[in-house]
A and B are shown apart, each in its own frame.
Chain A
Amino acid sequence: QKEVEQNSGPLSVPEGAIASLNCTYSDRGSQSFFWYRQYSGKSPELIMFIYSNGDKEDGRFTAQLNKASQYVSLLIRDSQPSDSATYLCAVFPQYNNNDMRFGAGTRLTVKP
């Protein structure tokens, strides 16, 4: 089992819709969770991080964490074509708080 799993997509949503990106992780003791956005040919950009169960909102983005289910998600409201990118989920496992582990990423396409 991979440490961090994401559906590779592509996920396609129409402009203005809500995009829902999901991520599961294997280490139950993980404490810190991050979402990065990576445009093609560019390096990842930190969007949000979440440490506590529940929702965390920042503008059009909402991160949701459920530690019991080992599940973290990212919702993008009012999706725009500029949101089209690969979204990487990252987790700090409990056994190694030094190295962030990344999922393979979900490719999102927002169609005008």
Chain B
Amino acid sequence: GAVVSQHPSRVICKSGTSVKIECRSLDFQATTMFWYRQFPKQSLMLMATSNEGSKATYEQGVEKDKFLINHASLTLSTLTVTSAHPEDSSFYICSARELAGVYEQYFGPGTRLTVT
């Protein structure tokens, strides 16, 4: 299957700082990338959908000014958590859909963010 990487895998930051998470499709081009958040023992929650070269579409309740998403190329999307607070601590997972594929989505390994 297609490979999606995320960096960093784990990050600890202080409250009020910003954190950038990178998501890359390594062996395919991704027209669409998705960002999810998952709290312990809960299901995936879609935060936003981004298409290369255009603005991200955010799910209801997700602050676009707090969670900045950039999808600058067909292989890279970034999520920046601005002015992070302890309640932003979560497991952030990106997913990418292959350009030539139908609907299969492949997930990155996730980034565990802890805000102290």
Taking residues whose C-beta sits less than 8 angstroms from the other chain, chain A's interface range is 20 to 34
B110-A43 in contact (CB<8A) = yes
Nearest-neighbour CB distance to chain A for B115, whole angstroms, equals: 18
Which of B43, B49, B102 is the one whose CB lies under 8 Å from A102? B43
Among A41, A46, A97, A104, the residue within 8 A (CB) of B105 is: A46
**A-facing residues in B69-110 (Cβ within 8 Å):** 91, 93, 102-110
In the complex, A90 Cα to B106 Cα: how many Å?
Answer: 12
B103 contacts A44, CB within 8 Å?
no
- Interface status of B46 (Cβ within 8 A of chain A): yes
A34 close to chain B: CB less than 8 A: yes
A42 contacts chain B at the CB level, 8 A cutoff: yes
With both chains docked as a complex, state the minimum distance between the C-beta of B21 and any C-beta of chain A, in angstroms.
13
Give the residues in chain A near B44, CB-CB below 8 Å: 44, 88, 102
* Chain B residues within CB distance 8 Å of chain A: 1, 32, 34, 42-44, 46, 49, 91, 93, 102-110
Assess the B103–A43 pair: CB atoms within 8 A: no
Q: List B contacts of A46 (CB < 8 A).
A: 1, 104-107
**Contact, CB under 8 Å: B49 / A98:** yes
Q: How far is the CB of A53 from chain B (nearest CB, A)?
A: 17
Q: In the complex, which residues of chain A have a beta carbon less than 8 angstroms from the beta carbon of B42?
A: 104
Question: Is A42 touching B109 in the complex (CB atoms < 8 A)?
Answer: yes
Instruction: Provide the residues of chain A in CB contact with B46, threshold 8 Å.
Output: 99, 102
In the complex, which residues 4-38 of chain A have their Cβ closer than 8 Å to any Cβ of chain B? Answer: 32, 34, 36
Looking at the assembled complex, report how far the CB atom of A30 sits from the nearest CB atom of chain B, in whole angstroms.
11
Q: Is the CB of A49 within 8 A of B43?
A: no
Starting from the known contacts A43-B107, A88-B43, 11 additional A-B residue pairs (CB-CB under 8 Å) come to: A32-B102, A32-B103, A34-B104, A34-B105, A41-B91, A43-B91, A43-B93, A44-B107, A49-B103, A99-B34, A99-B49
